Amino acid sequence: MTPEEFRQAGYAVVDWIADYWATLPQRPVTSQDPPGTVAAELPPRPPTQGEPVEAILTDLGKLVAPRLTHWQHPGFFGYFPANTSGPSVLGDLVSAGLGVQGMLWATGPACTELETVMLDWLAEALDLPARFRSTGRGGGVIQDSASSATLVATLVALHRAAGGRWREVGVDRRYRVYTSTEAHSSVEKAARIAGLGSDGVRLIEVDPTTRAMSPTALRAAIEADQAAGLVPALVVATVGTTSTTAVDPLPQIGPICAGYGVFLHVDAAYAGAAAVCPELRFGHAGLEYADSYCFDPHKWLLTGFDCDAFWVADTGELVEALTVLPEYLRNAATESGAVIDYRDWQVPLGRRFRALKLWFVLRWYGVEGLREHIRRGVALAARFADRVRADDRFELVAPHPYALVCFRLRGPDGPNEELLARVNATGRVFLTHTRVAGRYTLRLAVGSPQTTETHVDEAWALICEAAASATPA
């Protein structure tokens, strides 16, 4: 495809996306087609001869788009948001066009340096502790997801626990990882990948009301393990848990980790973004105790997946744990010691130029624009929670410090499951569920920049309607 052919086809694809966004509110949020529908409509083998872009775009509109869950839809309230934005898409487009592979500084100097600066910009925007800035021993890097950030933190913690010998001798099954019963499943998955198995993970109980990790229980677990000859290696604390956005108390957890010499990773995948607003930084109190920290701009900061921002306080330790240097990657810049080679900060070797989308987002919105976005989400969630609170049929199940509201019909689980199915079947909105202290609970998470009071009110109206027909009068 020549540059001129690309130019023409590129306009058509830009038009397709602009039209898709403009028509999103009219589309059902989810597809109702059964499994196998798309696969059945595609040819069993690739074409022998090439086809024009127009033919592909036609099939995109006909076969693919109607069978998606529309994550950018203003009525999408499921999981956590994963919202993108125009500037993010454009930054990613530039990245795709440049086709730079940033495994080493030498394979893309601007790719590396822009990333370092963007992570410093983010640290500034969130007012993160000085220890994470690149001006000192710390620094940040883009991972694909918080799952990978947790895995990397786990590996560095194991390396430290082994006195720096983990790289050679492997994992010791006596190492233990601590996280709350409400933590994300990626903590267990990281421990599994690292060779600790689920046996290596201690799930610490939470406060029954706040759903936040109990520091007392954490201390007791660490002490019991030490007494049993086991080695506490890592605590993963969460700022904004997936179920209910609970905030683990870092001011208490931090000193415990410091006291027992345990690596502390803080996972703020969803809620970290809120810290662009000074009034929403409460979750970061005590963050100066953390050895590593991450949040996902790809969740609530208008940056398309994948973009997890991950910082460590000691980049030397990180690199020591993960570095590999085969002959074919040796180069003068690496050997000078004056550059960052981000391949040593992550699991894969290769990497895309993901800093561009952050650069486009941070510059196009400015910090004030991002604050406005976060505040709008928090206000819309509060508006919805007010509706729930005012209706005796419903109860709020947990605090809603950010933009997620957890609620349910009072009483048994059955009508709640039925309610969720009915509401989602309308195609107007999409909510998901969790269990809080064993009880089936509905989750409404606000995130899309297209979501307004109208959409939140419509969600509430649909919920009330479904509740009226689902529960006995």
Residues in 196-215 that interact with a second copy by CB under 8 A: 196-200
Tell me how far, at minimum, the Cβ of 312 lies from a second copy, in Å. 17
Q: Which residue among 180, 214, 242, 252 contacts a second copy (CB under 8 A)?
A: 242
Q: Is 62 in the site for a second copy (CB under 8 A)?
A: no
Note the Cα 174 to chain centre separation in Å.
30
Residue closest to 161 by CA, chosen among 59, 71, 239, 235 = 235
Nearer to a second copy, 113 or 458 (CB): 113
The backbone torsions φ and ψ at residue 229, rounded to the nearest 5 degrees and listed phi first, read: 85, 10
Cβ-based nearer residue to a second copy, 256 or 419: 419
Contact residue for a second copy among 25, 27, 28, 90 (CB under 8 A)? 90
From 225-233, 250-258, 356-364, 393-401, give the range in contact with a second copy by CB under 8 A.
356-364
According to the binding rule CB under 8 A, does residue 228 interact with a second copy?
no
Residue 304 in contact with residue 296, Cβ under 8 Å? Answer: no
State the pairing for strand pair 439-445/404-409. antiparallel
* Distance of closest approach, residue 369 Cβ to a second copy, in angstroms: 5
* 72 lies in the site for a second copy, by CB under 8 A: yes
Which of 313, 307, 309, 4 is closest to 134 using CA atoms? 313
Exactly one of 339, 388, 397, 456 binds a second copy (CB under 8 A); that residue is: 339
Phi, psi for 446 (deg, rounded to 5) = -95, 135
Contacts of 129 (CB under 8 A, 6+ apart): 287, 288, 290
Q: Which residues between 441 and 460 bind a second copy (CB under 8 A)?
A: 443
C-beta of residue 115 within 8 angstroms of C-beta of residue 142: yes
Site membership for a second copy, residue 148 (CB under 8 A): yes
Instruction: Give the nearer residue to a second copy in terms of CB position, either 53 or 464.
Output: 53
Exposed (0-12), middle (13-18) or buried (19+): which is 330, by Cβ within 10 Å?
Answer: exposed
Q: Which residues pair with 139 in a beta bridge?
A: 312
- CA angle 385/391/396 to nearest 5° reads 45
Q: Assign 176 to helix, strand or coil.
A: strand
Q: Which is nearer to a second copy, 15 or 453 (CB)?
A: 15
> Could you report how far apart the first and last alpha carbons of the chain are, in Å?
64
Q: How far is the CB of 428 from a second copy (least distance, A)?
A: 18
Among 74, 75, 77, 82, binds a second copy (CB under 8 A): 82
- Comparison of 347 and 468: residue with beta carbon closer to a second copy: 347
The Cα 137–Cα 159 span in angstroms is 18
Q: How far apart are CA 433 and CA 444, in angstroms?
A: 9
Binding mask 28-47 for a second copy (x = CB under 8 A): --xx-x-xxxxx--x-xxxx
Q: Is residue 163 part of the contact set for a second copy (CB under 8 A)?
A: no
Question: Rule CB under 8 A: is residue 231 a binding residue for a second copy?
Answer: no
b/e burial code for range 109-119 (CB count within 10 A of at least 16 → b): eebbebbbebb
Q: How far is the CB of 80 from a second copy (least distance, A)?
A: 9
Residue 461 in the binding site for a second copy (CB under 8 A) = no
* Euclidean distance between CA atoms 143 and 309, whole angstroms: 6
Q: Which of 304, 377, 401, 447 binds a second copy (CB under 8 A)?
A: 304
Per CB under 8 A, 229 contacts a second copy: no
| Region binding a second copy by CB under 8 A among candidate stretches 220-228, 231-239, 354-362, 390-398 | 354-362
Round to whole Å and give the CA distance between 159 and 255. Answer: 21
Contact 138, 178 (CB under 8 A): no
The piece of 64-72, 223-231, 249-257, 463-471 that touches a second copy (CB under 8 A) is 64-72
CA-to-CA separations, 244 to 112, 186, 235, 434, in angstroms, rounded: 36, 16, 20, 8
Find the binder of a second copy among 284, 298, 373, 387 (CB under 8 A).
298
Residue with smaller CB distance to a second copy, 47 or 472: 47
Binding mask 422-441 for a second copy (x = CB under 8 A): ----------xxxx------
Name which position in 366, 411, 412, 414 contacts a second copy (CB under 8 A). Answer: 366
The mark string for 115-144 relative to a second copy (x by CB under 8 A, - otherwise) is -xx--xxx-xx------------------x
Q: Does 251 bind a second copy (CB under 8 A)?
A: no
